[in-house]
A and B are shown apart, each in its own frame.
Chain A
Amino acid sequence: MADSTSSLLAPYTGPWDERAAAHLLNRVCFSAPIEQIEMLMKQTPDQALQRLLYYEYTPESCPDPSCAEPSVPSPDAVPKSQSNEQERQMQRKEQQRMEKEHGMELQAWWIQRMVTTPRPLQEKLTLFWHGHFATSFVKVKNAYLMWLQNETLRRNANGNFKKMLLEISRDPAMIVWLDNNSNVKGKPNENYAREVMELFTLGEGHYTEQDIKESARAFTGWSYRKQGSQQFQFQPKQHDVGEKVFMGKKGNWDGDDIINIIFEQPHCARFIVNKLWVYFAYENPEPEVVDGLAQILRENNYDLKPLLWKLFSCRAFYSERAIHAQIKSPAQLVVGSFQILKRELPDDPNLLQIILNVFRLMGQELFAPPDVDGWDGGLAWVNTASLLLRYNFSNYLVHGIPPENMVGKIGKAGKPPSPPKGEVTRALRRSAKVLDVASLCDLSRLATSEQIVRHFARLLWNDQPDQENLREFTRFLDTNESGGTFAFQAQNPAAEEKIRGLVHLMMSTPQYQLC
């Protein structure tokens, strides 16, 4: 027993085959396209991981979004030039509208980056940290600050966890999000101090209410400039310089001291390691896995690379508990589908709006997590409504025509999008681009319907169909509407439409929701 558990973190020495390579790609990236799998299999697992994890060495050029400059005046500053209250109100409304538009642009910018990046792990880790330090545009209402935070998460994504938290504690979006701008001497606001321990580093039960009260005092005066650069600003007059007792240590602590003390707690490494493992491998990891990885993280002073290396190369990561057992997040599903099907993100603003709606309706609106706890993930991604929505998104990707209710600007919280103008829908129908079957398979080389089904199962599921699915899918390909035999011929447009039907069906399955 001791042998088998202690070997969970031993290097994986099993076969470096299609199944293993696809698994690594699925977890490190957003999908496992066949060409990539084949490329990985030509390398050793270490070579493959080296390239994926040390992504700094892969050149990347991604233009900044238009909100990468602070807007003037900043959206939360009340304009003082007008004396008329009504005019001021109107100006505020107009600013909010503009800000919302910037926010949507920012979402689209990130999705595009996820689809096209040559550094997939960088984006996947940034998404992890976004869910961890979950901050929402809904309250921050400032696209520039949201972008700034996103860049901070990306810059530190595979760097050092402690450095990341030190920077996040000075991050203006976080300061607004958890009210630290109103955390002042004499009237401390505990919001940030509480979440630093409960959600960011230790988890419930590893600190006291007293620790929260004392550390809130240490973070007093950590604010940001509302005008101009909109950067972090320490306000000494608002800072409580009195003595604090935090986790049994007495001193005139400030925020950095608090973070230093937190990172001395042995539980801190376990907490974040557990969360990373759940994100990349599977839920409820064995204690041996968490303890072993936590030790690596502590030994390396919270540098993430050695930990991630071990995570992606150990036996447990390649075990049956992990492979094909994770429910895809909406980002994994949407971004991965674009990649596998070789489709490009649309330019048309109406179509782009559909992609943003899909993220929101599936429950993972970027830059707008439901609360500071981020997304629950796992089974919580799927319920009857979101499962049908996932299926119907596949329909859009395959047939090019979005269902009416995915179109148009989304309605009030809790409400589906208002029905689109008929004109928009008609235009979308006219410009619909169907899936290019020829880019996914060479029909002249797939002789039988069974070969076609097996090819697409490999492409879409990274797996083979069971007997029942194989039977149903081949029958679907072989039967025409009158019940007779459908004859497959390459270059037959009807055959291509049949295959589109097959792809849509294979994506409308529980199997496609897993990776």
Chain B
Amino acid sequence: MKEEIHLHTRREFLRRSIFLTSAAWTVPTFLNRTVWALENSGPLAGVKVSPDDPILVVIQLSGGNDGLNTLVPYTNDAYYKARPMLAVPAKDVLKINDVLGFHPNFARLKSMLDSGKMAVIQGVGYPNPNRSHFRSMEIWHTASDSDKYETSGWIGRYFDNHCKGCDPTTAVNIGKLMPQAFSAKIPFGVTIEDPEMYRWINTSTRYGDAMKSAEAVFRKINKASADPKAMPQMGDEPPQSMDYLQRTAMNAQLSSDRIREVVKQYHSNVAYPDTGIGYGLKLVAQMISGKLPTRIYYVSQGGYDTHANQLNDQNKLLAELSEAVFSFYQDLEQQRNGERVLSIAFAELVRRVTENAAKGTDHGAAGLIFAFGGKIKPGIHGEAPSLTDLNRGDLKFNIDFRSVYATVLENWLRVSSTPILGRSFPKIGFV
């Protein structure tokens, strides 16, 4: 017990002194590695994570983006026939090739596609598609077959298989709620929305600093369980509330000081749009620039469930996405991190070919995934599904979404995907 306290203090000291001495926040890599190594030798012994490893950013387009109005088959009569009110006029489309073009609000992303930093994977879906919003979301998050029920998420199983004992900041979710994709046997990763609030605040100032000792007690009672060995073992059952809370309290403690410090150090002249997705990606850029050991960031942009009056809503969302991703990569390139960061944007649900009476689209079966980054193989991947050969009014998929996960896991995060996805899926050549 004593030895651990000593070790802990020494790590703290080392870490703190690094924060203090690195004025420009350019920590020599070897020194930084030492900190993580030290950290990993203590209660968090396990896999080492280095701040130079490749990073994956997952962007969820919540509610289900309408792919046909995003990547528009502008020469296809069937498209205009199915969408008398909603179709994007051919003259407005940002043409990519003879048959496909982007929605006009994707101008920024079109420039990324042209400069080789964007890929589009089309016709992505899964067998026996489920049109229920929630079930389909669950399938995308857990990567299960549509007739099987899985509680853990695909990213959660990546943690369980490859990150046992890693620093909790190995995965960071921006937002209020943790996505199901993060669900793991052992609660893992951190969720953060506002770095300023990401600490224990004590405003008892009445009697000078008489309350400083409270902070020490707080750390002790919330870290009392910081030794995973002392934590109850978690099996296949969902964790008990108390175990889960203690684990989360520990993860919050371990990540709070570091994330706030990193965000404070960030400087950039890249302007981000004043939107939710702009805010989220900026925060991710801040953390990347601060060399956190994070391998996976998760950001969401909500509002895509356009059952009615789709035009205005989707126009706005696509513009917001386009602007935010563009700024994000500008920022990353200035940090020289553009090649280290792969982003994929997916919708957990897709929309039907034919518009409905409410100038909207209902839930459908096959859609698009976007990928961004300095190291990807740009352009359009996969075949466009036929607009006339439909399955119950839906496009037929030709790429299983788990092929995209497998590609990311194997070719980018460099781990075996079979234990995570349950079996092997063919990889797509976008990275």
Q: Which residue numbers of A lie inside 8 Å of B, CB to CB? A: 179, 182, 184, 187, 189-191, 194, 198-199, 204, 209, 283-284, 325-327, 361-363, 370-373, 376, 378-380, 382-389, 391-392, 395-396, 398-399, 401, 403-406, 411-416, 434, 468-469, 472-473, 475-476, 479-481, 493-494, 497-498, 500-501, 504-505, 508-510, 513-514
Contacts and interface: CB of A to CB of B under 8 A. Distances in A.
Contacts of A384: 168, 190-192, 198, 248, 251-252, 255
A405 B199 CA distance: 12
Contacts of A401: 203
B362 A191 contact: yes
A412 B316 CA distance: 14
A411 B252 CA distance: 24
A179 B308 contact: yes
A371 B301 CA distance: 14
A481 B213 contact: yes
Given A379-B241, A384-B191, A386-B191, A371 B207 contact: no
Nearest to B196: A405
Interface stretch (B31-39, B131-139, B378-386): B131-139
Contacts of A481: 209-210, 212-213
Contacts of A370: 177
Given A379-B244, A416-B197, A434-B206, A190 B362 contact: yes
B241 A326 contact: yes
B302 A182 contact: no
Contacts of B277: 414
A454 to B, nearest CB: 16
Given A182-B356, A414-B302, 13 more contacts: A182-B308, A362-B176, A363-B176, A379-B187, A384-B251, A385-B191, A392-B200, A405-B194, A412-B276, A476-B214, A479-B213, A481-B210, A501-B204
Contacts of B191: 383-386
A466 to B, nearest CB: 10
Given A179-B307, A399-B203, A505-B218, A405 B197 contact: yes
A460 to B, nearest CB: 13
B242 A392 contact: no
B245 A204 contact: no
A500 B220 CA distance: 18
B202 A395 contact: yes
Contact of B197 (A403, A476, A500): A403
A398 B379 CA distance: 57
Contacts of A508: 200, 218, 221-222
Contact of B217 (A383, A392, A505): A505
Interface string B180-200: 000000010011111011111
A461 B224 CA distance: 18
A387 B245 contact: yes
B198 A383 contact: no
6 contacts: A194-B131, A198-B134, A325-B240, A361-B176, A415-B279, A514-B245
A400 to B, nearest CB: 8
Contact of B357 (A184, A379, A411, A414): A184
A382 B214 contact: no
Given A380-B178, A472-B221, A514-B245, A497 B197 contact: no
B358 A189 contact: yes
B241 A385 contact: no
Interface residues of B, number: 76
A326 B252 CA distance: 21
Contacts of A476: 213-214, 217
A227 B199 CA distance: 49
Contact of A514 (B135, B198, B241): B241
A480 B305 CA distance: 57
Given A182-B358, A184-B357, A326-B241, A388 B199 contact: yes
Contacts of A468: 221, 224
Given A198-B132, A399-B204, A414-B175, A510 B356 contact: no
A237 B244 CA distance: 55
Nearest to A190: B362
A304 B331 CA distance: 57
B300 interface: yes
B197 A388 contact: yes
A389 B239 CA distance: 22
Contacts of B199: 388
A425 to B, nearest CB: 11
A95 B252 CA distance: 42
Instruction: Name the residue in A389, A469, A498, A505 with the highest tally of chain B Cβ atoms < 10 Å from its Cβ.
Output: A505
B229 interface: no
B221 A403 contact: no
Contacts of A411: 279
Contacts of A392: 197, 200-201
A488 to B, nearest CB: 14
A501 B199 CA distance: 17
Contact of A413 (B132, B220, B302, B308): B302
B245 A363 contact: no
A497 B252 contact: no
Interface in B291-323: 300-303, 305, 307-308
A501 B214 contact: yes
A371 B245 contact: no
Contacts of A385: 176, 190-194, 197-198, 252
A12 B8 CA distance: 49
B249 interface: yes
Given A184-B357, A363-B177, A387-B245, A415 B276 contact: yes
Contact of B214 (A416, A505, A509, A513): A505
Interface string B233-249: 00000111110111011
B392 interface: yes
Contacts of A498: 210
B222 A509 contact: yes
Contacts of B300: 414
Contacts of A376: 177
B67 interface: no
Contacts of B242: 325, 510, 514
Contacts of B374: none
A182 B245 contact: no
A493 B204 CA distance: 13
B239 A379 contact: yes
Contact of A513 (B194, B245, B251, B358): B245
Interface string B2-45: 00000000000000000000000000000000000000000000
Contacts of B196: 403-405, 416
Given A481-B213, A508-B200, A413 B240 contact: no
B202 A504 contact: yes
Given A371-B133, A468-B224, A494 B210 contact: yes
B211 interface: yes
A498 B249 CA distance: 24
Contacts of B388: none
B133 A373 contact: yes
Contact of B356 (A187, A406, A505): A187
Contacts of A510: 222, 242, 245-246, 249
B256 interface: yes
A395 B199 CA distance: 12
Instruction: Name the residue in A376, A386, A473 with the highest tally of chain B Cβ atoms < 10 Å from its Cβ.
Output: A386
B280 interface: yes
A386 B192 CA distance: 8
A265 B221 CA distance: 50
Given A384-B251, A413-B276, A189 B202 contact: no
Contacts of B424: none
Instruction: Name the residue in A325, A326, A376, A508 with the highest tally of chain B Cβ atoms < 10 Å from its Cβ.
Output: A508
Contacts of B246: 510
Contacts of B255: 384
Contacts of B362: 189-191
B389 interface: no
Nearest to B208: A481
Nearest to A465: B221
A336 to B, nearest CB: 16
